[in-house]
Amino acid sequence: MPESKKPLAGLKILDFSTLLPGPYASMIMAEMGAEVLRVESPSRPDLVKGLTPQIEGVSAAYRQLNDKKDVCYLDLKQPEAAEQVKVLVKDYDIVLEQFRPGVMDRLGVGYEALRECKADLIYCSITGYGQSGPYRDRAGHDINYLALSGLADYSRRKGEAPVPQGMQVADLAGGSHQAVMAILTAVIQRQTQGIGQYIDISMTDAAFSLNGMAGAAALAGGEQPEAETGWLNGGTFYDYYETADGRYMAVGSLEPQFQQRLLEVLNLTHLAVDCADFSQEAQSRVKASIREVFLGETFSHWCTAFAQTDACVEPVLTFEEACRHQHLVERQVIKSGHYTQQMAPAFRFE
């Protein structure tokens, strides 16, 4: 789709953020057609730039996040910088920043200062703990936000330590995605009401909201979520199962029709009653039997066995294997960037 016809064509974003949450959010909006100007410090480079592998002097991750953006260099600590930003912001719709609370105000480019230059400005701040509360000035990373949200405690095996995630759940699902949703909602409000908006995104708040079903049940008087007690965290046969060669299969066959197909492929149809019984005793028996059967054959065997069976059972792929998977290839999840292959946006506009 031509850039001029993309949904956010004409929207202009001034992005002061670094690392992952803010740049990922502006990357999403750039992919949707927004014009993004990234403001970088000439003396304090974004740490993501230094990661490996390097491509033309910056990391592949930096390229992924910023290839569709323009960049300017401005030292916000210099006295004249605030006036330069105030002139610049008049041509922009949105400001995105990721400093600790109060930093942009001290630099003279906070929301109150900039909305004097542009009354309908949309200004979004992404921080670990939000603009208020006793933790507002506290440092943090993804693992800390997940820890405080309660998610890390019950997303683990019983009696074992929580496991660091392979991707940044709070940064992306909590910071980036929430910021994009809030910003675009504010854009609609400006179109209908003619007003700007200040948006306070706390990655810890957002991570807490991801408790979803388990949290809703607990707050309504149900059981508190604990490791391996829920439908989706290992308390049922919805789980990962090791194969004979040390690989894993993911079983999500919760609905009756999928349970039936799972048991048929595994030759465990005698467990149908237990499978549909979500008591701890019944599920323990089912899981033990499923575990034993999966351990009896190789990963390749089970991939073939479930390939043509609609049972919500899929192989746990490496990233390299995922890049070659027939469905993902057909969906074109990898695109050609300016310097190397990159992950394509997850949305499709016709």
How distant, in Å, are the alpha carbons of 45, 197, 221 from that of 87?
Answer: 24, 19, 54
In the chain, where do the E strands start and end? 12-15, 35-40, 54-55, 58-59, 70-73, 94-97, 122-127, 197-202, 239-242, 248-251, 313-315, 334-336, 341-343
Cis before 23 (ω within 30): no
Instruction: Indicate the pairing of strand 197-202 with strand 58-59.
Output: unpaired
Token digits of residue 327: 């469905």
Token digits of residue 227: 């490791």
Distance CA 273, CA 259 (A): 10
Token digits of residue 316: 């746990």
Surface-to-core class of residue 270, CB atoms within 10 Å of its CB (0-12 exposed, 13-18 middle, 19+ buried):
exposed
Name 167's Cβ contacts closer than 8 Å, sequence gap at least 6.
none
Cite the active site residues.
141, 171
